[in-house]
Structure 1
Amino acid sequence: MDKHKYINLMSKKFERYFDIEFQKEILGLNLDMFAKHYSLNVRTFLTKKDIIDSFESNEYIFIKYYSNLDETKVNEFCNFLKSAAEYYVNPTKNHMSTYINGVVLFDSIDEGVKDVIKRFKNSKTFLFGLRGWFDTRLLAVDLNGQDIICNREGKRVKKVYQITP
């Protein structure tokens, strides 16, 4: 599958819930697609003004294409995801969760890179979970087949990023 077809497929999946931008530069890395979602949930008592509590959830998707995926490019993208987490995660009193989804598209992959992707972990809780948490999901999508390599957190959303007609 062509990278443009895959990105269009993902944008159609996400357009209802995410704000999507194409060809965006973030923290010095040129991305093929960037998507963000913000939701604020509020519990009220009798009227809308009687707020009991509220919490916010965020999700960010970073999609980058590499023709040949090697260990240097994966490490560069992992460092970018760590920097993006520092930049985008804001643990305020209403913060509940933030998910950083890093998706790498590739045509060919070097040996040993799969282990680097599977071992990647970047998550944190704030104030013993009272100020929420963030998790980073790393997925590598083979455009020539159905193979998706992901880290432990990425397994939860693996089906979303599969190539389906």
Structure 2
Amino acid sequence: MISSDMYLKELLLRYQASFDITENFTIGDCTFPAYAWFHSLSEKYVLKREAQLWAVTIFEHVFFIKKESVDRADLEKLLDLIRESIEPVLVRKNEKYPEKDHMCSYLTFVIISDKAPDATTQKAIKRFKFDKGYLFNFRGHSEARLAVTSTDTQEVFTNYGGKELKSMLCDIYKN
């Protein structure tokens, strides 16, 4: 069995190639063991940069959480934290809307749990959802992705948006 500390260490090694990582990151009244941040800018222009046709920016904010067990109350607290602190500060930068050319901000949460969640919590994980559009989606949207990995059963539970994380998170158990 792999410990949650070793799992987090291996996970951060996989993220460090593309993400900027900060350990012991605090936002609002919550401190995370680690936080990873990614930014991508795509643009199309004609002949020179001043003649820009379009530009798109995409962000991903990944929060790593270690817990002994996860229940529905933890998921509700996480949703409140997204609404009150994470989305206003990291996505909108305390403005009314995100920056110009913002397309999408993914708010990803990876919870490393020592115990597997019970059946009702597993259903709550699947139904976990946060999706917010800005200015009728002309300024993009933000979306929450959730993955809960259990070190005792070596299972990974995700919401709909977090499905693409599952293979990487399961792969860590194979090493």
Amino acid at match of 2:44: R
Which residue of structure 2 lines up, in the alignment, with residue 131 of structure 1?
Answer: 139
Distance 1:78 1:105 in 2: 17
Equivalent positions of 1:92-111 (< 5 A) are: 92-108=99-115, 109-111=117-119
- Identify if the C-alpha distance between structure 1 residues 82 and 156 changes in structure 2 by more than 3 Å, giving closer, same or farther: farther
Runs of 4+ in 1 over 4 A off after TM superposition: none
Distance 2:108 2:82 in 1: 8
Compare the two structures and name the one with the higher strand fraction.
1
1:148 aligned to 2:156? yes
Amino acid at match of 2:23: F
SS at 1:24 equivalent: strand
Distance 2:27 2:171 in 1: 26
Distance 1:73 1:124 in 2: 21
Aligned-residue Cα RMSD (Å) equals 1.7
TM-score by length of 2: 0.85
Whether the aligned pair in 1 keeps the contact of 2:147 and 2:165 (CA below 8 Å) is no
Which residue of structure 2 lines up, in the alignment, with residue 19 of structure 1?
Answer: 20
Distance 2:134 2:82 in 1: 18
Moved more, 124-133 or 59-68: 124-133
Moved more, 73-82 or 148-157: 73-82
The one-character-per-residue Cα deviations of 1:50-100 (angstroms, maximum 9, x if unpaired) are 322211110000111111222322322232233312322222321011100
TM-score by length of 1: 0.90
Which residue of structure 2 lines up, in the alignment, with residue 68 of structure 1?
Answer: 69
Which sections of structure 2, spanning at least 5 residues, go unmatched?
A: 93-97
SS at 1:32 equivalent: strand
- Identify if the C-alpha distance between structure 1 residues 140 and 82 changes in structure 2 by more than 3 Å, giving closer, same or farther: farther
Report the count of equivalent residues.
165
1:116 aligned to 2:148? no
1:159 aligned to 2:160? no
Amino acid at match of 2:130: N
The one-character-per-residue Cα deviations of 1:30-64 (angstroms, maximum 9, x if unpaired) are 21110011121121211233322211110000111
Which residue of structure 1 lines up, in the alignment, with residue 87 of structure 2?
Answer: 85
SS at 1:117 equivalent: helix
